[in-house]
Amino acid sequence: MIAVAPRLSDKKTGPTGPVHWSWRTLPPALLAALLLLITTEALAGDAAVALEPPRLAQAPEPLCFCWNEGRKIAEGAASCIRTTQGRRIAQCGRVINMMSWHVTDTPCPES
């Protein structure tokens, strides 16, 4: 007797119609093996640790800053600002909890 392999177009049918695959139709031993494989892989490895801290594409933004002509100036940095006496060098600083300019008498260098 010669056995003929079923064609791909042949559909398996049960007493109520076509048989659909589901987890419930798998043998319990196979389900237990799959569950054991998944859980042991998850528990086997150590936690991932970064080798280097992430690098920033640019310098981090200062938490406190002053504005001068649309630019952020970090706390403690100096910049030329416009005043009523003309352009002067001023230092960005903190007054209580507000950022403010501390204007010096030094005029800005001409370039």
Assign 3-class secondary structure to the chain.
CCCCCCCCCCCCEECCEECCCCHHHCCHHHHHHHHHHHHHHHHHCCCCCCCCCCCCCCCCCCCCEEEECCEEEECCCEEEEEECCEEEEEEEEEECCEEEEEEEEEECCCC
User: Rounded to 5 degrees, what angle do the CA atoms 41, 44, 47 make?
Assistant: 110
As a whole number of angstroms, the distance between CA 78 and CA 101 comes to 9
- pTM for the full model? 0.44
As a whole number of angstroms, the distance between CA 51 and CA 20 comes to 48
Q: Has residue 2 been placed in a domain?
A: no
Q: Which domain holds residue 84?
A: 65-107
Mean pLDDT of 86-106: 92
- Whether the pLDDT of residue 97 is over 70: the answer is yes
Residue-wise pLDDT for 21-59, tens only, equals 666 666 777 778 877 777 765 565 666 676 777 776 776
Q: Has residue 97 been placed in a domain?
A: yes
Q: Has residue 99 been placed in a domain?
A: yes
Q: Has residue 71 been placed in a domain?
A: yes
